Amino acid sequence: MPRKEREKSSSGIYHIMLRGINKQDIFNDQEDRLRFTTILEKNKEQSGYELYGYCLMHNHVHLLLKEVDEKIAQAMKRIGASYVYWYNKKHQRCGHLFQDRFKSEKVEDDRYLLVALRYIHQNPLKAGLVKDLGEYRWSSYNDYLSQGSTLTSTKFVMSLFDPNPEYFLGAFKKFMSQEVQDKCLDFDDSVIKSLSDDQVIIMLKDNIGVDDPLLLKNMDKKTRDNCIRRLRGDGVTIMQLSRLSGLGRGIIEKATCEGNRPSNTL
């Protein structure tokens, strides 16, 4: 079945989402996140796009981007390829990192642009990672407050509030912190609550019959890898599973990736 053609935005602005294959983490540490933002900035110069907002979560990325000199498909292809090459080399893995092609929705007017930006900035808050938007380092929220970023293009959004910094900051903070149920894009798992260790142990006992994650190390490879795939499919992150079970990240990633490979049999 041919892919559905991507809807074109008359404004050239898109809300874009990239997520890890099988919901797996695409950022394991601060260095990974810093590398991704560096790639965004480098490609901003090359592709000429304007970046109005971003947020890096554990297993997905949100971008609010306006295409200028180059189509977003080409820009996103370059961004994804650059990061995957670096990530695989650093973490000694191979294969795909992102789930299919990036997902996007068109942003046709100023009102929805602000709604999408608020949705993006509130991702860490709704996921329970922080209690205040300003606490999260890996989003464009603080770029708007400091006005010192070379990555985020802040002037256009500022003009929608008030170009005077004194009035802008108060209005911006108030709008971004409003408790709303904005729904942008349609990934049901776009904001994922972290599972507690106790929840993971209950999942192990109920679904696999094991009450101690450390016992995974004693299983034969086939049984162990099946357990890993079931836990990953239920939302357990690679980092958490590695910490609880004592299994190396490479073992967990390999088991997850092998579960995504198509069978050679008909």
Work out the percent of the chain whose per-residue pLDDT is above 90.
Answer: 40
Alpha-carbon 215 to chain mean position: 31
> Where does the pLDDT of residue 189 fall: very low under 50, low under 70, confident under 90, or very high at 90 and above?
very low
pLDDT at 83 over 70: yes
pLDDT at 67 over 80: yes
Please tell me whether residue 20 adopts helix, strand or coil conformation.
strand
21-38 average pLDDT score: 89
Bigger pLDDT: 96 vs 55: 55
Q: CA–CA separation, 24 vs 37, rounded Å?
A: 19
Nearest to 157 by CA among 35, 239, 78, 50: 50
pLDDT of residue 194: 64
Q: CA–CA separation, 12 vs 33, rounded Å?
A: 26
46-75 average pLDDT score: 93
Q: Is the dihedral of CA 127, 133, 56, 159 positive or negative?
A: positive
73-88 average pLDDT score: 92
> Where does the pLDDT of residue 31 fall: very low under 50, low under 70, confident under 90, or very high at 90 and above?
very high
Per the listing, tokens 């650093």 go with 90
20-28 average pLDDT score: 83
pLDDT of residue 204: 82
pLDDT of residue 260: 47
pLDDT of residue 3: 55
> Where does the pLDDT of residue 252 fall: very low under 50, low under 70, confident under 90, or very high at 90 and above?
confident
128-139 average pLDDT score: 93
Q: CA–CA separation, 237 vs 221, rounded Å?
A: 20
pLDDT of residue 114: 95
Nearest to 140 by CA among 27, 69, 37: 37
Nearest to 192 by CA among 17, 5, 44: 17
74-85 average pLDDT score: 93
pLDDT of residue 21: 82
